[in-house]
Structure 1
Amino acid sequence: MKTLTPSQFHTNRLTSFLSQCKTMKELNQIHAQATISGHSSDNYIISKLLLFSTTSGPQTTDYSFKLFSSVSNPSSFFYSTIIRAFSASKNPAHAFSLYNQMLLAGISPDHFSFPFLTKACARLASLPLGTSLHCDIVKYGFSSDLFVQNSLIHMYTSCRDIVSAREVFDAMCVRNLVSWNTMVDGYAKCGDLVAARNVFDGMPVRDVVSWSALIDGYVKSGEFSEALAVFASMCDDGMKVNAVTMVSVLCACAHLGALDQGRRMHCYIKDNGVCLTLQLSTSLVDMYAKCGSITEALAVFREVPVVETDVLIWNAIIGGLAMHGRSKDSLALFEEMQATGRGQPDEITYLCLLSACTHGGLVEDAWRFFNLLKAQRMAVQVEHYACMVDVLGRSGLVEEAYEIVRTMPMQPSASVLGALLTACQTHGHLHLGELVGRMLIELDPYHDGRYIGLSSVYASAKQWDDAKTMREVMEKRGVRKTPGCSAVEVDGNLHRFIAHDKMHQQTTDIYSMLSFLLNQMKLESDIINGEHFKQEIWENV
């Protein structure tokens, strides 16, 4: 039996420990043992420590870099491993600093280096950097490597260069499922759903990622009904869905307001044992809230253990309650969120709270949250200002609302000015309303609501000529009023009705004529609204 030297014994012992290591705490203990036994400069031990730390999440990047820095003459393996760590970190640009350092040291990159570098480039969304990297890939002879080619497709699509991505895809001698999925996802993310569907239909084999990429593409492009149709085809194909798929499907239901379909999806999740991740629970809460069933949204929220919640699901339920006019409940839930210590409030949280204050007319609470938002040095967005203008305007504090608009650190958006215009119309501030209305038209000259809003301000002040002029300007500029749309869900199918048919047009013309005549005659409102007068009008119609 061969006798081991003390150094060999410690090396074997440390290697055994590393093979059983499960956590970073255990790794730190092993590292301490390596230092005590004089093996802290052993490249083999350091490589094992480095490999574990770089695969333990972005939070260990600093530790990994210290390990890497302790190696005197790092090989391409060490460089590739630390580049991998930084490609997934908060500072992906540092991966390229290490790559340049690697080249200056005379060490050639291998086929492991480039996929991590392209990942860093994709996260930076830097096309010039990606093009330069592609040149190096060709230079070092890895342009035909399947793993590298797939990473290039992902990089180009992340940089919104779908043409170059397709060139790489077409040049591939061999493609695997990842190649096809990356191309489908790339087209979908770039909004070219026709091309995404063509690639999808041409796939020799599909998996859940293929279907999910296409469904998500339709959702992101606003084609929600088509997304649900693809999901139905996916189920007919016998494909087992996952939580990622269902998040996209529930998002489609939420935007359509299809409550029955949303309930069916919830049952599908339960019946098929889909893992109820926190993200999926958040999507369920959001879907029920947007589809009008805040009771079911609260029920789903309460089923999630408090210790597993984060700010996203709190935002969904706080915003949902605000949307349903339950302002006090929304604010109470925020207090509960702070009491549990789960999920630190962010900008979206305060936007939901300000929205709740708007619906409930809670001016003092709105000021409290707005000042708290600024005190915590969060980024105050234009949407926060819009809510403040709205809550003040609804409460009749038009001058205060205008002061906020006047002192905003950014250019007021259409939503901010629109809220102020509505307040001016409601509370009879004609001169300010006229000023704001013209600002809105200048900001968005082809939006029908801007002209109608200013026309309504004039009508409220009985300035009929000015109101008529606004309508005429609207017609001269070719701006048409967006037709009204109604929707009804029957047996899980959503049917939409647009007010543009012949009967609707005739009725609209009659009302326009009557409105003009009544305005000219300056009839009083009690006569106009009298039941006998309306009866005479309908009899003549």
Structure 2
Amino acid sequence: MPGVSWSCKITNLNQNLLSLIEKCKSMLELKQLHAVVISFGLSQDDPFISKILCFSALSSSGDINYSYRVFSQLSSPTIFNWNTIIRGYSNSKIPVNSLSIFLKMLRLGVAPDYFTYPFLVKASARLLNQEIGVSVHAHIIQTGHESDRFIQNSLIHMYASCGNIMWAQKVFDSIQGKNLVSWNSMLDGYANCGEMVTAQKAFDSMLEKDVRSWSSLINGYVKAGEYSEAMYIFEKMRAAGPEANEVTMVSVSCACAHLGALEKGKMIHKHIVDCGLPLTLVLQTSLVDMYAKCGAIEEALLVFRRVSKSQTDVLIWNAMIGGLATHGLVEESLKLFKEMQTVGIQPDEVTYLCLLAACAHGGLVKEAWHFFENLNKCGMTPTIEHYACMVDVLARANQLTTAYQFICRMPIEPTAAMLGALLSGCINHRNLTLAETVGKKLIELEPNHDGRYIGLSNVYAVDKRWDDARSMREAMDRRGVKKSPGFSFVEISGVLHRFIAHDKAHPDSEETYCMLNFVVRQMKRSWYKDKEKSLKDTSMGDDLLTWLSF
């Protein structure tokens, strides 16, 4: 352009280049622009390098390792550059690197500022390492940043994440002029530590609440296993609170899944669509899990198939494979696993747990051994759950001796779940000698668990050892072990009804018991008529019913 100086042209060129970096959408684009920056001799110029570091370290499309390589080539990185890398690693799969960068920073004599510490505290929280978190807290005090509210809020989260709610409370109490973030951090801390009574009190005392406040309380109740209470809070939120977000809907979907509340689950799904919430992969995974656990496997498959395979991850595949396995659709479950491998999704420990569950339902012992051995081949270590599932496979398939030997050879101590699976197999396949041995071990393992005594009592009842069966009840009484009453949920027209064994508090209990007695009579008639599937001694069958119900 005539009349435009060379310096103006350079300035315009630099501004255009900065604008392109700001609009960058992928690492491929960023690398191309970075090459241009280098070719122009601007590889040490702060405006360009800061933006390159920000995208590569902080963007969801970024690459923290690339960011660190760029950072390492800087002759004089600014505190902003240091903080960007520390922040990037705190969000990454290797948050411990945040602390390594911080130590390097200190060794080089670079003074951290109040932006540095929240990312270090976050890294400590993600590592669940209170010792590191305390060290960072001590450094915060030494440098005079302990009164920064942003840092204090992050410390509350860190201590609560590490399970130290008392220290989280101390930090909270020390904050002058608590804001909504402070209250939410403390509320979330109580909820994550299972302190739901205190969490509810904190929530009720908050003058201001936002979607995070409601979501933290709901999620806390879900984690505590109080699913009905979680749904109750969600209904209150719908009536008087803010619009729910993804976190809220994932929590309430989980509550519906555990309650088996299909109608409410469908309502949640409709609410998501009606409110225009983005159907993120996390949300779709929770819907797949909810439908599968509520018995609506076709609906689960429908949600699953609507997700583009290129956008899936191992979590949604696990939810679908596990759902099919739970419904006894063994062949479909194994086929889906092969499809998952074809797509290029790498299985994890949970995938193999789902596959072992499928094998247990299908009696596929050979396939189960193959999957169990594959864990080590794929660089994974079998967990307690994998061993328990393998015991279940063998016990269901009447390979009881093999199952017992497998337990004895394990590199870990057997759990009640493993022995419980073996006991069930022993009872089902009438190996009462081994059942007695296993039942006694279960009582030794969990002497205050009512179900362990009842399990062994049932073994004795099947073997007509009525005195021994009675002695189990007496042993419970001597130890002061009370049988927890069984209960179930039934959903009628979107309303959950809770029924407790022998309880008549429900307003429709009279009609319920009439129908129950009718069903029991019909079952008995069918049972006595079907000689091939019934016990040979019908009088023993009546006795068994008596013992199983106590």
The interval holding the TM-score normalised by the smaller chain is 0.7 to 0.9
C-alpha spacing 1:238/1:163, structure 2 compared with 1 (3 Å):
closer
Q: Which residue of 1 aligns with 2:394?
A: 392
1:4 aligns with 2:7: yes
In 1, Cα distance between equivalents of 2:61 and 2:447: 47
In 1, Cα distance between equivalents of 2:377 and 2:254: 34
C-alpha spacing 1:23/1:486, structure 2 compared with 1 (3 Å):
closer
1:255 aligns with 2:266: no
1:62 aligns with 2:65: yes
In 2, Cα distance between equivalents of 1:411 and 1:403: 13
Q: Supply the RMSD in Å over aligned alpha carbons.
A: 2.9
* Offset, 1:138: 3.0
Per-residue Cα deviation, 1:451-476 (whole angstroms, up to 9, x for no partner): 22223333333333333333322222
In 2, Cα distance between equivalents of 1:43 and 1:271: 46
3-state DSSP class of the match of 2:490?
strand
In 1, Cα distance between equivalents of 2:468 and 2:401: 24
Q: Which residue of 1 aligns with 2:237?
A: 234
In 2, Cα distance between equivalents of 1:98 and 1:148: 19
Q: Which residue of 2 aligns with 1:402?
A: 404
Q: Is the 8 A contact 2:27 2:61 kept in 1?
A: no
* Offset, 1:24: 2.1
- Structure 2 residue identity aligned to 1:40: S
Q: Which residue of 1 aligns with 2:125?
A: 122
Q: Is the 8 A contact 1:455 1:466 kept in 2?
A: yes
1:411 aligns with 2:413: yes
Q: Is the 8 A contact 1:10 1:37 kept in 2?
A: no
Structure 1: gaps of 5 or more residues: 505-523
1:203 aligns with 2:199: no
In 2, Cα distance between equivalents of 1:75 and 1:282: 41
Say which of 355, 360, 363 aligns to 1:361: 363
In 2, Cα distance between equivalents of 1:346 and 1:38: 45
Q: Which residue of 1 aligns with 2:330?
A: 327
Say which of 187, 191, 194 aligns to 2:194: 191
TM-score norm. by structure 2 comes to 0.85
Structure 2: gaps of 5 or more residues: 510-534
Q: Which residue of 2 aligns with 1:509?
A: none
1:491 aligns with 2:502: no
Q: Which residue of 2 aligns with 1:428?
A: 430
Say which of 297, 309, 314 aligns to 1:311: 314
In 2, Cα distance between equivalents of 1:123 and 1:300: 31
Say which of 270, 273, 277 aligns to 1:270: 273
C-alpha spacing 1:340/1:54, structure 2 compared with 1 (3 Å):
closer
Which one is further off, 493-502 or 357-366?
493-502
Q: Which residue of 2 aligns with 1:147?
A: 150
Per-residue Cα deviation, 1:269-297 (whole angstroms, up to 9, x for no partner): 22222222222222122112212222222
Q: Is the 8 A contact 1:254 1:290 kept in 2?
A: yes
- Structure 1 residue identity aligned to 2:92: S
Q: Which residue of 2 aligns with 1:518?
A: none
C-alpha spacing 1:441/1:58, structure 2 compared with 1 (3 Å):
farther
Which one is further off, 375-384 or 460-469?
460-469
* Offset, 1:236: 0.7
* Offset, 1:190: 1.3
In 1, Cα distance between equivalents of 2:278 and 2:261: 23
In 1, Cα distance between equivalents of 2:244 and 2:264: 16
* Offset, 1:338: 2.7
* Offset, 1:22: 3.4
Q: Which residue of 2 aligns with 1:340?
A: 343
Q: How many residues align?
A: 514
Per-residue Cα deviation, 1:214-265 (whole angstroms, up to 9, x for no partner): 1111111111111111111111115211222111111111111112211221
Say which of 15, 18, 29 aligns to 1:26: 29
TM-score norm. by structure 1 comes to 0.87
Per-residue Cα deviation, 1:388-442 (whole angstroms, up to 9, x for no partner): 2222222222222222212222111111111222222333333322222221111
Q: Is the 8 A contact 1:212 1:245 kept in 2?
A: yes
